[in-house]
Structures are given as C-alpha cells and as structure tokens.
Amino acid sequence: MPLSRRGFLRIVGSREEAFSGALIAARGLEAYYAEQQAPGARSRPVLPPGVEEIRINSNENPLGPGRLALDAILGKFPEANRYPFNSSPADTNLVDAIAAKYKVKPENVVLGAGSQEILKNAVRAFTSPERHLVTAAPTFENCTNTAKKLKHGLKEIKVDANFRLDIQPMIDASPGAGLVFFNNPNNPTATVHGAKTVADFVAKVRSLAPQAVILIDEAYHDYVTDPSYESAIPLALATPNVFVARTFSKAYGMAGMRIGYAIGRAETIKPLATLKMPYNVSVFGVAAAIASLNDPQHVADERERNTKVRDFTVQALTSLGCKPTESQGNFVFVDIARPAKEFREACAKSGVMVGRDFPPFEKTHARISIGTMEEMQKAVDVFRNVLRAATTTAGGKGRF
Amino acid sequence: MLTRRDFVQAAGIGAAGALTSMIGARGREHAVWSLLEPTLHAVEPGIICLASNENPVGPGKTVLDAVRTAFGPTGAQPGRYSGAASALTEEIAKQFKVKTENVVLGCGSTQILRSATHLFTAKDKPLVGTIPTYEECAGYASMMGHPVTGVALDSEFRIDLDKMANAAKGAGLIFYCNPNNPTATYVGARATREFIARVNRESPDTTILVDEAYFDYVTDPDHDTHVPIAIENPRVLVARTFSKAYGMAGLRMGYAIGHPDTIKKMAEWDGGGGAGSLNVLALHAGIAAIGQPPDFTANERARNTAVRDFTMKWFADRGMKPTNAQANFMFVNIGRPVKEFREACKAKGVLVARDFPPFEKTHCRLSFGTMEEMQKAVAVFGEVLGKKVTARAA
C-alpha cells in the first residue's frame, strides 16, 4: 500500500511531527556540536537564529531518496522486527536486483554497509605488511586509513597537474602490490579518466603485478557527463583480479541508509563475501534500494539537476577568480588561493559548511559539494564575501 | 584445543572446507548450518515464523514514529550521513548510568561480536564458547585462523562453568552467551559473577564477552546485568542488541558496554558511526526505543512469558522435555531429527529453526510468536508429531 510523496508529507509534515523532528534533530546536532567543540576537536560556530545551515561538505544528494524508496520504507514498517533474511524483500533479493541490473549472477555481487565496508574489507583481504596498497593523494581516504591502521604497506601517488589520478606513477608503484585503489571520478579532485585509459591502466598493472587486485571505486558514476567515461563493470567481469565498488549514497540519495556493493568476478570478490558482516543492510535499506533500482528516472533527474547546479557553481567560482578542476562528481575541487581551513571557518560563520582539508592541497584548494540551486546561490554569495574579506585582510584592514 | 575445523567436526558437521566462505557469505543465522539446509527465504504472508528468535510484535509506535520523523520534513534526511551516533551513545549511557566512553555502537551486535573476536583472539589465543552457542564469534575466529575451543553444556543444557573456566586458561576470549542461544538456559547472576572472578584469577589475560541479547526475557529471580562489572574491569565486556525485546532486528543496531580502554580499541578497529556501518533510521529508532519507560520491556517480557508458559506446557504435557527457557525461544527434545520435523512443519506453514549439532537428532529450537500464532503452531506440531504424543492431560 504505497503512499505517494504527497501522502508521505501529509503524514510527516504536520506541525507536531515537524516539531518532534526538530527536537530529535536538535538533540543529534547538540551532541554533534558538543563533539566538535570538545577540547582539541574541530570547533564550529553556532549560527545566529534564522540562519539555516547549508551542508555542502559531504558530497551528499541534497534531495535524498526518491518517493518510491521512501514509500518502500514506510511499507516495511510491519517487518521492522524481521531479520533482513526473513523480510520481504530479503537481502538476497537486493543482491538479485543488483545482479539483474548488470545482467550478472548473484555471486558477482557482495553487499556492504555502505561501500566503506567493501573498501575496508578489500584492504584487510588483499594487502599485508608485504603486499602494499597503491592509492592516490588526495583520494577517498578509507583504504589509506585502513592500511595505516593495519600497518600494511602503502604507496600514495600524488594526482597529476590536472588533478587526475596520475596513471603512469600508479602503474610504476604496482609491482608487489596487494591492492590498487582507483577512484573514478576521484574524490576530492572531481576528475575522471575515460574508459580507454582505465582499460589500459588495468592491463598494464596486471602485466606488472599479476597478483594485485584492482578496486575501481565508482561512487560518483551517475554524475559523470564526460562522454569518454564508461563504467568499468564490464571490464571487471571480463578480467580476473578487478572489481568495482558502487554505492547508494550518492545519486540514489541514501547516504544515511548505508548500502554499497562490490561487483566483479566471483573468484575475485570471494574474500569480500567471506569478510562481509552478516545482515549488514537493514530491512528498510533493502526495500529502499530495490525500489530505487526500479526507479531509474530518479537517478536520471538527479544527474540532470546536479549538472545544472554544478555548471552554475563552476561558473560562479570562476567569475570570483577561483579555478575549479574539471568536475565530474556532485562536488567541485577549487583553487581558492588560500588555506582551506581559513575559507571553511569563514564560510561556517555564515552557515555554509564546506569540505575538510585534503592534503597536499590544503593550503590552496577547497572541496565544495553541490547542494540545491537555491543553496548554491546563497553559498556563492557567502563565498564572494569571504573571498573579498580575506583579500582585504591580506591588505591588513579586514574585519575578520 | 580445537581449531574451527575440529570444532565443526566434533559438532558433527562435515564439509568443513566449504565453511569459511559460507559463514562469510551467509552470516551466522545461515553460517555452518546452511550446509544442512537451503538458503532461508523471505517469510511469506500468512506463514508463522518461529525460526529466528525475533520479537513477533515489533518495535511499537514510538519507535516507528521516530523512524518516520528521521525522514525529515521533506524526506531528504536519509540522503545525509547521520550525526546521530553520538546522540544514541548518550541515550544508552544515560540509561545504564555509565559514561559515553563506556559505549560503542555496532551494526547489530554482529559488529560488536566480530570486533571483540578480532581484538581478543589470536593464533595463540583461542576463542572459548559452548557447543552449541551463537556462532558469530566462532565463525569469525575460524575465518581469521584463530583456534576455537568448544565446551560441552551440562546435563541441563546450561553453560558448564567448571569446564568453561578450565578451558579458559590461556584463552583470548570467552563467548558467554547468557541466556544461551539456542539452548535458552540461563546462569544466575551470582554464579556468573563468581565465574568471572575465577577466570580473572586463573587466567588474567582472558576477556569475557557476556552476550546479554536476551536479557529482557529472563524471569529467573537471580537476574542482573554485568554492565557494572564491565565498566570497571577491562577483561569484561557486555554485548546488547535492539533486535530482541525492542523488536528491531530489521534495523540493525547493537552495542557494547565496557571499560573505556576496551571500548576505545573496539571503536578504533571498526567504528560504526557517521559514514560507517550505522544507518540513520536505526540510530533514531534506537534513541526512541531506549528512551521508553521501563514498562516497555516489562510488558514485552510479560507477553513473552505467557506465550512461553503456554508453549512449554504443551510440550511437557505430551512428554517432550524443554530446557528451562529464559528467553524468547525454547529448546525442546522432540525425540526425532529436527530436519524431519522442520520440513513437515514448513509444509503446514510454520517455520522452526535450523539444526543445532550435536543435538540435531533430538532437539528443536522454537522461537515464540504471538499467543495466537503459538496456538496455531501447536496444532501443527500435534499433527506433525502424530498420535503418540497426544496430551496425557487431555
């Protein structure tokens, strides 16, 4: 008995509901503030009343899941008490639905509690003190941090002059590697490599490091508009020791639901299946993800919306004298010619939250996620003021 | 000392070679046992599921309202990474009158059990657990190539404390599931405290993981949590879950309470908050659930106890002996292989649990549904078990 979005809003949108929502949200937020403002923690200012926070720091989809996904969750309320293998649909049905989307078998898919579980387990399974991780700098840090924590070998290759993954040095670093992490598009630099480059890269790494597993993380796949780009999933299915990580956190709008997956040849991803936490995706997550897979229009609309807002943001930043990279994600990486920390803290005072430091570019570049058009218009006004004020400060006269 | 392979063979299961991948791929409720039965399928409407120790009533309105509210006013909130892990941690700390540094959250207690096994066992530091017990720790230890020592239960199907303490010498971790799944028996709080003290004395480097998943269903008068010990003693850790009395198995939320040093190690190894493994709806559901007045769990316990008394009496009246069940399930000697019984019940719309070696030729684990479901279920059991078990009392 699915509810329409309108029906959903009628249920949740009443004053009482909104009020309790605000209460819970406030409780969470307070805790968050407490955490952030604890000694030694990154502190963030408390906003003046009436100023709403614009959260463009985590590469989230600002609109969230589609109506069908929300309805699917509401429809599963009677099964909150069931384990995800007893619910209908069950977690195996989500594996089946993903397999069907790519015309592969269920054994080609492993579910993760977000793609973070896939990435962490890949490092645990495929690297060791002797078999290092090859990754980029900067890139999504999950693999890097896991390898450090385990004290496994690590080679970080700085991105090239255009902020793209630097192909040749990554190939050169691969002999003896256990795992090569290839984030395409790359977070935080937002750049992408085309299908042919990726295929050549894989072939070269495989010839130099036949034992290495290549993990191609396509978290931002749905946001790419570059025509030379294609998913590496067909390549992974055709090639031993290659697999692709995907997530429902980005274009599908379900970062809070924690659902990702690995897709590749069964023998390649078997160690991930072995390490997978049992029942790692909730009954609601399973239902919402299946509903989303049956709603390709939601992702298509999100890509179109993001492209429009990304174009606006890139243009606005360029007109402010900043230089963004060629963005293919739902975020931009932009040269603001000053430390990201300074920029971030100044923006936060006006309620605009932008991304963390990304060494080795923390002295020059900020990562800004793409919010709604309305949010980005407001954010650009804040950027303009902050950048202007900072310029004045540099002259010694600023108020900041 | 047994390795997992030996453990499995000792427990009467072959095909150990296929084991590791099975455990990983299917999880504990499938784990070893999936070698013996096909993959579980979604429960069809109208089917009575007594197979997975779930709460048949669900989490209730307060919790489901919190899930709905977590959507946010426009439904966009599930699109955000959640910051609510710290709020849930605070609520749990408040409930148990401990500090937030004593609490770590997990994606179900699964993540907790795995982290503990990871941190406290090694190639030379075995895991010790009863046979049978809940398989997550043993499965994970075996996957890591860490040895597993299985300890037989006593004649009443309870944890044999003497045997367990002896096996614990030099062990890394004792998995102490109390009430024990699948046998439903409970060791009183006093005996458990004495056991902990003895292990601390005789094997000071051994950590004891007390799994209190079924805590709220216990009616034994000598009942108490071991949280106060855990927060003081770095060698004791308590695992809890929202999957049982709180009716949230589908949400995936569990936690551990322990000494700050232990909790810190757990969080560092596999922290679950933020962009980790914890979903936003479960976080908000957990906050709402644990903040309910204590009569929520008291009511659920009373509901379960009535159903448990009814079901246990039905079997006892027919000469079939259940163990002293202290949980939302029972373990009963039906005097025939469970597989046979299970398949016959399934054909009549009632699902009962998998095999639990070494008792798969005699004992069945039955979870308690609602009273109405159990009344229907015992009618099916009567048909399946046949005329020779007609009630003596009837």
Query: How much is the pLDDT for A30?
Result: 34
ipTM of the complex: 0.89
Domain for residue A17, yes or no?
Answer: no
Q: Of B249, B349, B41, nearest to A82 (Cα)?
A: B249
Residue ranges in chain B modelled with pLDDT below 50: 1-41, 390-394
**What average pLDDT does chain A have?**
89
Q: Which residues of B touch A62 (CB under 8 A)?
A: 76, 79
Q: Which residue does chain B place closest to A88, by CA atoms? A: B42
Q: What pLDDT is attached to residue A49?
A: 77
Q: What is d(CA A346, CA B149) in angstroms, rounded to the nearest whole number?
A: 58
Q: How far is A276 from chain B (nearest CA, A)?
A: 6
Same domain, A255 and A303: no
Which residues lie closer than 8 Å to B330 by C-beta, 6 or more apart? B184, B308, B311, B312, B315, B322, B323, B365, B366, B368
Q: Give me the residue spans of the domains in chain B.
A: 7-58+295-389, 61-290
Contacts of B51 in chain A (CB under 8 A): 86
Q: Is there a contact between A191 and A334 (Cβ–Cβ < 8 Å)?
A: no
Task: Please answer whether residues B167 and B152 qualify as being in contact, where contact means their C-beta atoms are separated by less than 8 angstroms.
Answer: no
Beta carbons within 8 Å of A153's beta carbon, 6+ residues apart: A127, A128, A129, A130, A131, A132, A133, A147, A178
Which residues make Cβ contacts (< 8 Å) with residue A251, sequence separation at least 6? A61, A220, A221, A222, A223, A299, A302, A303, A306, A330
pLDDT attached to residue A45: 62
pLDDT value at position B43? Answer: 73
Shared domain check, A334 and A272: no
- Using the 3D structure, point to which of A241, A269, A295 is the last residue of a domain: A295
Say if A399 falls within a structural domain: no
In this structure, are A291 and A301 located in the same domain?
no
Give the tens place of pLDDT for each residue, A323-379: 999 999 999 999 999 999 999 999 999 999 999 999 999 999 999 999 999 999 999
Helical H segments across B271-328, by residue range: 280-290, 295-317
Which residues contact residue A258 at a Cβ distance below 8 angstroms, ignoring those fewer than 6 apart?
A113, A114, A249, A280, A281, A282, A285, B107, B276, B277, B278, B279
The reply to whether A178 and A251 lie within a common domain is yes
The architecture CATH gives domain B7-58+295-389: Alpha-Beta Complex (3.90)
Q: Which residues of B touch A35 (CB under 8 A)?
A: 86
Residue B274: per-residue pLDDT: 66
Model confidence, pTM: 0.89
Domain count, chain A: 2
Partner residue facing B29 (CB), from A78, A83, A92: A83
**DSSP code, position A179:** E
pLDDT tens digits, one per residue of A114-147: 999 999 999 999 999 999 999 999 999 999 999 9
**Domain end (from A265, A295, A325):** A295
In 3D space, the residue among B144, B138, B148 whose CA is nearest the CA of residue B113 turns out to be B138
Where residue A116 sits, what CATH number does that domain have?
3.40.640.10
Q: What is the pLDDT of residue B46?
A: 85
Which pLDDT score is estimated for B275? 75
CB contact under 8 A, A256 and B280: yes
CA-based max dimension of chain B: 61
Residue A240 lies in a domain: yes
Of A63-72, A281-290, B31-40, B199-208, least confident by mean pLDDT is B31-40
| Per-position b or e across B105-119, b if 16+ CB within 10 A of its CB | bbbbbbbbbbbbbbb
Mark yes or no for CB contact A114/B86 under 8 Å.
Answer: no
Query: Which residue range forms the structural domain that includes residue A370?
Result: 32-61+297-390
pLDDT for the residue A389? 76
Q: Which residue of B has its CA nearest to A92?
A: B41
CATH number for the domain formed by residue range(s) B61-290? 3.40.640.10
Cβ–Cβ below 8 Å for A12 and B248: no
Same domain, A110 and A218: yes
d(CA B324, CA B179): 10
N-term to C-term CA, chain B: 49
A58 to chain B, any CB pair closer than 8 A? The answer is yes
CA distance B53 to B327: 9
Residues A335, A308 share a domain? yes
Q: Residue A23 — φ and ψ, nearest 5°?
A: -60, -50
Measured CA to CA, the distance from residue B251 to residue B82 in angstroms comes to 15
Q: Give B-chain residues touching A86 at CB under 8 angstroms.
A: 40, 42-43, 49, 51-52, 54
What tens digit of pLDDT does each residue of B202-242 get? 999 999 999 999 999 999 999 999 999 999 999 999 999 99
pLDDT given at position B7: 34
Same domain for A81 and A39: no
Q: Which two tokens stand for residue A47?
A: 């906003």
Measure in Å the smallest separation between the Cα of A232 and chain B Cα atoms: 24
d(CA B271, CA B264): 9
Residue A24 within any structural domain of the chain: no
Sign for the pseudo-dihedral over CA of A147, A151, A152, A154: positive
Q: Which residue has the higher pLDDT, B128 or A32?
A: B128
Say if A114 is an interface residue toward chain B (CB within 8 Å).
yes
Of A258, A277, A295, the domain-final residue: A295
Based on the fold, state whether residues A55 and A151 are members of the same structural domain: no
